[in-house]
C-alpha cells in the first residue's frame, strides 16, 4: 500500500508528520512526502496522479491563506475519482471547530481530530465520518542513555513561553520558587530532536500545555516525553486518566497558586527520590498502548471500516 503525507513535510519538526509517517511505515505502508506550503496545486496533483496512492493524509488544507480551499478540495476530488485515492484530513489542535466547516464529502473520505467537540461538530459539517484520534509517541526500542550536557537539575520547560498568557504567568510564579531551564521551540536551543536524551538526562520536565477546557484534548507532551521515559511534572487534562494513569507522572491540577505549590512539592521530592522505576513504567506503558505504530494500526482499521 502507498500513502502520501501532504503537509508541513519540510518543517524542522512536525509531530503530525513524524508520528504519522513512522506509524505508517511500521505498519508496512510505503510513504511519500509532498510539502503543501512550497508545492503548487498543479504539481501536487501531478505527483498524486503519478504515485496513485491508496491514502493521502492532509494537514494545512483549511489554512486559506496558503491556497483557496475550494480549489484544493476540487483537486482532491478529481484525484480521488481518477485513481481511487482516499483523502483523510487530520487536525489535532485544541479546537472545537476546524478552520473550514463546510461540506467536504466530495473530496474527503474521512477526518481525524483530537477533541470530542470537534469530532461531533465536524462530522455534522463535513458530511464524512470523523474519528477521535489523540496524539501518539514515536517508537523507541530502548530508553536512551543519559548525556552529560542535558543533565539539568533545574526543571526543564520546552515550548513557547509567550504564546499563552496563563502558562506564561504560571511559569513566572513557579520560577520564583524553583529553578527552571527553558528551551524555546524553533530557536537555536530547540531540543525537540534530542527528546530521548533530554528525557533520560534532565531531572524532570514540565508538561505545561493549553486546551485544558476542551473535552478529549491531550497535548503532544505527555506522549512525547513519557513515551521516551521522562520524569514529568504535568498538569492533567480533562479525563486524562482514561488514557494515561497519573502514577506515571507527578500531576498538578491547575495554573493557580495550588498548582504552583503542587509543582514545588513535586520538584523537591524528585530531587530526593530515585524515579527510575516510574520512568521505565512510563516508557513501557506509552510504547505499548500509545506508540504511533499502535495508533496508526487503529487508524488503518478505521479507514478499512469506512
Residues 130 and 156 occupy one common structural domain? no
**Is the pLDDT at 12 greater than 70, yes or no?**
no
CATH number at residue 111: 3.40.50.2000
- Does some domain include residue 141? no
Percent above pLDDT 70 for the chain: 100
Q: Are 222 and 204 in the same domain?
A: yes
Q: What is the pLDDT of residue 262?
A: 98
97 and 160 co-located in one domain? no
Q: Give the residue ranges of DSSP H helices in 157-291.
A: 165-175, 195-201, 221-226, 257-272, 276-289
Shared domain check, 300 and 248: no
Does residue 53 sit in the same domain as residue 155?
no
Mean pLDDT of 155-184: 91
pLDDT over 90 (residue 163): no
142 falls within a domain: no
Q: Does 236 reside within a domain?
A: yes
- Read off the pLDDT of each residue in 131-149 and give the average, rounded to a whole number: 96
* Whether the predicted pLDDT of 90 surpasses 90: yes
Residues 121 and 189 in one domain: no
The residue among 8 and 12 whose pLDDT is bigger is 8
The pLDDT of 213-219, averaged and rounded, is: 93
Mean pLDDT (the chain) is 95
pLDDT in tens, 263-272: 999 999 999 9
Model confidence at 186: pLDDT above 80: no
Tell me the residue length of the chain: 306
CA distances to 37, 154, 180, 183, 202 from 59, rounded to whole Å, are 10, 36, 34, 26, 33
Q: Is residue 301 part of a domain?
A: yes
Give the per-residue pLDDT at 164. 83
Q: What is the pTM of this model?
A: 0.94
pLDDT at 159 (0 to 100)? 85
Digit-coded pLDDT (tens) for 18-31: 999 999 999 999 99
Give the residue numbers spanning the domain of 250: 148-289
Q: What is the pLDDT of residues 96-122, one digit of tens each?
A: 999 999 999 999 999 999 999 999 999
In a domain? residue 94 = yes
Residue 193: CB partners within 8 Å, gap ≥ 6?
A: 13
- Do residue 55 and residue 132 come from a single domain? yes
Residue 59 lies in a domain: yes
Write the pLDDT tens digit of every residue in 30-89: 999 999 999 999 999 999 999 999 999 999 999 999 999 999 999 999 999 999 999 999
Q: What is the dihedral angle through the alpha carbons of 168, 171, 176, 180, rounded to the nearest 10 degrees?
A: -130
Same domain, 132 and 22: yes
Domain count, the chain: 2
Looking at the fold, whether 97 and 110 belong to one and the same domain comes out as yes
Cβ contact 131:110 at 8 Å? yes
Residue 36 and residue 109 in one domain? yes
Residue 143 lies in a domain: no
For residue 139, pLDDT beyond 70: yes
- Indicate if 174 and 190 belong to the same structural domain: yes
Q: Are residues 102 and 181 in the same domain?
A: no
Residue 26 maps to a domain: yes
Amino acid at each position: 500500500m502507498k500513502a502520501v503525507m501532504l503537509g508541513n513535510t519540510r518543517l524542522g519538526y512536525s509531530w503530525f508528520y513524524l508520528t504519522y509517517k513512522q506509524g505508517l511505515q511500521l505498519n508496512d505502508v510505503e510513504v511519500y512526502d509532498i510539502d503543501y506550503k512550497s508545492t503548487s496545486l498543479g504539481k501536487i496533483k501531478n505527483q498524486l496522479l503519478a504515485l496513485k496512492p491508496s491514502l493521502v493524509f492532509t494537514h494545512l488544507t483549511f489554512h486559506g491563506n496558503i491556497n483557496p480551499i475550494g480549489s484544493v478540495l476540487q483537486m482532491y476530488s478529481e484525484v480521488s475519482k481518477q485513481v481511487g485515492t482516499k483523502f483523510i484530513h487530520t487536525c489535532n489542535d485544541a479546537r472545537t471547530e476546524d478552520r473550514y466547516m463546510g461540506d467536504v464529502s466530495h473530496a474527503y473520505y474521512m477526518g481525524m481530530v483530537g477533541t470530542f467537540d470537534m469530532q461531533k461538530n465536524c462530522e455534522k459539517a463535513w458530511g464524512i465520518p470523523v474519528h477521535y484520534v489523540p496524539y501518539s509517541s514515536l517508537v523507541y526500542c530502548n530508553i536512551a542513555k543519559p548525556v552529560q550536557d542535558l543533565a539539568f537539575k533545574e526543571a526543564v520547560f520546552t515550548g513557547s513561553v509567550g504564546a499563552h498568557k496563563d502558562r506564561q504567568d504560571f511559569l513566572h510564579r513557579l520560577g520564583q520558587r524553583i529553578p527552571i531551564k527553558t528551551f524555546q521551540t524553533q530557536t537555536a536551543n530547540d531540543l525537540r530532536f534530542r527528546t530521548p536524551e533530554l528525557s533520560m538526562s534532565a531531572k524532570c520536565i514540565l508538561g505545561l500545555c493549553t486546551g485544558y477546557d476542551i473535552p478529549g484534548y491531550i497535548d503532544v507532551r505527555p506522549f512525547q516525553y513519557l513515551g521516551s521515559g521522562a520524569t514529568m511534572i504535568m498538569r492533567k487534562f480533562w479525563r486524562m486518566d482514561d488514557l494515561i494513569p497519573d502514577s506515571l507522572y507527578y500531576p498538578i491540577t491547575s495554573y493557580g497558586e495550588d498548582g504552583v505549590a503542587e509543582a514545588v512539592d513535586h520538584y523537591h521530592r524528585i530531587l530526593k527520590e530515585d524515579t527510575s522505576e516510574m520512568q521505565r513504567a512510563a516508557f513501557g506503558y506509552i510504547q505499548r498502548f500509545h506508540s504511533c505504530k499502535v495508533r496508526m494500526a487503529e487508524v488503518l482499521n478505521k479507514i478499512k471500516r469506512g
